[in-house]
Chain A
Amino acid sequence: MANLSALQVISTGIAIVFVSGCVRLFWLFLSISRPVRDPRIKYPKTGPSHMVVVLGSGGHTAEMMSLLRDVDPTKYIHRTYIISSGDGFSSDRAFDIETKIQSRHNHGNVSSVGEVYPATGKWEVKIVPRARKIHQSRWTTALSSLWCLISCMATLRTSSITSIVSPFDYPDVIIANGPATAVMVVLASFLLKLFGFAPIYKMKTIYVESWARVKTLSLSGKVLLWLRICDKFVVQWEELAKNINQDGTRRKVEWSGFLVE
């Protein structure tokens, strides 16, 4: 035992980490789009939840507003909006979405960012750096994407710390629709689960492809479908769903009509 070389110790360590990483990855992929439950909570869940919304530029944000029209702020008492830097306009849109969501519960009093209301809880806006600026070269794009990914992970972490559902609990669900930041946030949540920072029953991701996409997916949609890391991937046109699912032996995307109003 005494003559164990350093090399042996290190290689065994690497092997253990690698194997457990693979097991975790396998388990994580199995859990995707399957109901995996928080064992501490009885189902159906009646307690409050924490949701994350990824906002992008004008068109996507307007659509998101329509998608979220029926969200009940008394159930989703903590709502985090993630926007990318430079989309200054989107933070106003987050307020518009909140106005709509809260309208039935707050008698016209919309809470401002960070305020905690007894009925409608709290909402907040988090800013992450852009993955790619216009006219940026390929090499710097790789770096800035990585930086964006790391900030997304940090953002999900900080929003979990300040969660009013239960401090240090990660968000329950993430909603995204088309912007490039969506890929980064979904990937960040996946990595947090892979590395064991977050349990796999947290941060269930729902991706809704833009209503404007009739026959083909957007770039964000293509990347996310290829990575297969979304728990729910929804498109809004039947033709698009048929194009992707083909023979229908394995349902890759879901379609049940228009989700926008």
Chain B
Amino acid sequence: MSGNKEERAEKPKSRKQCLITVGATATFEQLIRATLSVSVVEKLMEKGFSHVSYQCGDSFALFNELLPEEREKQLLFKVEKFAFKPKGLGEEIRKCKKVDGQSEEGLVISHAGAGTILDVMRMGVPLIVVPNPSLLDNHQSELAEELERQGYATQGGIKYALLTVKSDLADAIDIACAMAKKKTWGQENKVKGVATMMDEAVGAVHSPREEEDLSLRLDGTR
């Protein structure tokens, strides 16, 4: 992979960060393997990422095995690796955000955990969601599919990620980076919140159900 460096895009002046996260609860070795595959690493360099951080979870040892230091030095981006962040990933996700004059629009490649997905979407960073195929009750891929259908995120697969041509994860990076204007989260969810539902339940405000009842009663007496 150290081959023809000259052909690649020039190193950007400003920071362009990618965060790869496997989550804290379940082991997700395949995602680490997939993101360290030749095709994905080349794709990240082609897109001009200057920094890539890996949240490896349980697979920290595996990460070091797959990417020994001498290989790390050959990469065009700076590698940051850690098992977990005790204070959460908020700070890491913020680094991927576009800030004028400081950093370009980055990317997050994440496992399909709802917490991380929401954090990323709230900050408006391009997102690839990779469902973990080894989880038995696989509602994660349903979530990833629906988010892709509604235009909030890109679904990434890891089935063929290790292939040099037609790697599905590398393709997902292409799509996610090309999504010019992502759908921003939070615009469409101006709905009745839980606080209002509670007020209705304790009777602090009239609930719609109650008004229905009232109108029925009025109709009955008429």
Contact = CB atoms under 8 A, between A and B. Distances in A.
Interface of A: 33-35, 37-38, 41, 43-46, 49, 51, 57-59, 62-63, 66-72, 75-76, 172-173, 175, 204, 206, 208, 210-216, 218, 231-232, 234, 237, 239, 256-261
B178 interface: no
A51 B25 CA distance: 30
Given A62-B115, A212-B143, A214-B142, A44 B205 contact: yes
Contacts of A204: 201-202
Nearest to B144: A214
Contacts of A67: 193-194
A236 to B, nearest CB: 9
Interface residues of B, number: 37
Contacts of B139: 212-216, 218
In the A-B complex, the 9 residue pairs with the smallest Cβ-Cβ separation, listed nearest first, are A257-B191, A70-B195, A212-B114, A204-B201, A258-B189, A172-B202, A214-B142, A62-B115, A45-B203
B24 A58 contact: yes
B10 interface: no
A208 B194 contact: yes
Contacts of A66: 118
B192 interface: yes
B68 interface: no
A59 B113 contact: yes
B186 A261 contact: yes
A215 B188 CA distance: 20
Contacts of A231: 201
A72 to B, nearest CB: 7
A259 B25 contact: no
A68 B195 contact: yes
B13 interface: no
Nearest to B193: A70
A41 B25 CA distance: 47
Nearest to A238: B146
Given A59-B113, A231-B201, 5 more contacts: A35-B207, A38-B203, A172-B202, A204-B202, A257-B191
Most chain A Cβ neighbours within 10 Å, of B146, B198, B209: B198
B72 interface: no
A49 B198 CA distance: 10
A211 B114 CA distance: 7
B24 to A, nearest CB: 7
Contacts of B202: 45, 49, 172-173, 204
Contact of A63 (B114, B196, B201, B205): B114
Contacts, number: 117
A33 B208 CA distance: 12
B140 interface: yes
Interface string B197-222: 11101111111011001000000000
A69 to B, nearest CB: 8
Contacts of A212: 112-114, 139-140, 143
Contact of B143 (A33, A43, A214, A258): A214
A206 B198 contact: yes
Contacts of B213: 34-35
Contacts of B206: 44
B78 interface: no
Contacts of B201: 172-173, 204, 206, 231-232
B204 A46 contact: yes
A105 B192 CA distance: 22
B8 interface: no
A59 B204 contact: no
A44 B207 CA distance: 10
Contacts of A175: 194, 198
Nearest to B112: A212
B118 A256 contact: no
A196 to B, nearest CB: 21
A229 to B, nearest CB: 14
Contacts of A68: 194-195
